[in-house]
Amino acid sequence: AEAPRGVRGVPTPARPVVVFPDAPGPGADPSPGGRARPSDGYGRSYALPWKVSGITVRIHWSLPALWLFLSLLGLVGGGAMGFALALVLFGPGLFGTVLVHELGHSFMARSRGREVHEILLWPLGGLAFIGSAPGHKDDIAIAAAGPATHVPMTIFWVLIALAASEGTMASSMNFGFVLGMQMVFLNVALLVFNLFTPCFPLDGGRILASSLMLGGYDMLATATIMERISAFIIVG
């Protein structure tokens, strides 16, 4: 459904949209040019032909090209084995992991009574567009739910690697073992990066910001603290 019309015919969202990314990106821009979808501010994307638990998942136009490019790099650097590994790792492996992460945010948001607009997979990761509502405790739970999905995924891929190496030499020639260990590294890296980097809009930054406001800091003071922390981390 089209968003309600605002001033001078420019559509405005019915409710504020909160973006829960697993990697930093530009702010959502659902209104310019008559665009109604929250993800339209990130460039052209295409919806998958099916929904995941009723949630529309969109793929950014550049992802197939990026997937092919990384797979070709694997071919150049590692031959057929490198190509096959990169094809799986940077395709269904990476973006399947990111999708599960965003579904973690989305399902937690639904359990707290919030609307989930859609999920966008794009070159810098994933974005879940979730309706805003008061409640800092809910914000913390929603932000933490994404990184939490990497715990069972890490365990799953450890088991895959162990199963693949059983009875054989766990070496670089064992495709299942190498893929499993690469996916373990990917999940641990995403967990640590998202949860323990206190920069907004990463999950760790959202948790810290909501915790500060829950502790009595107003929005201006919280924004100032987050700005200084982010600047320190970026500049070093």
Catalytic residues: 102
φ and ψ at 149, to 5 degrees? -65, -20
Q: In whole angstroms, what is the distance from residue 183 CA to residue 135 CA?
A: 34
Nearest to residue 85, comparing CAs of 191, 190, 186?
A: 186
Helix (H, G, I), strand (E, B) or coil at 231: helix
Phi-psi region of 148 (alpha: psi -120 to 50; beta: other; left: phi over 0): alpha
Cβ density class 140-169: b for 16+ within 10 Å, e for less: bbbbbbbbbbbeebbeebeebbeebbeeee
φ and ψ at 26, to 5 degrees? -70, 160
116-122 vs 57-60, strand pairing mode: parallel
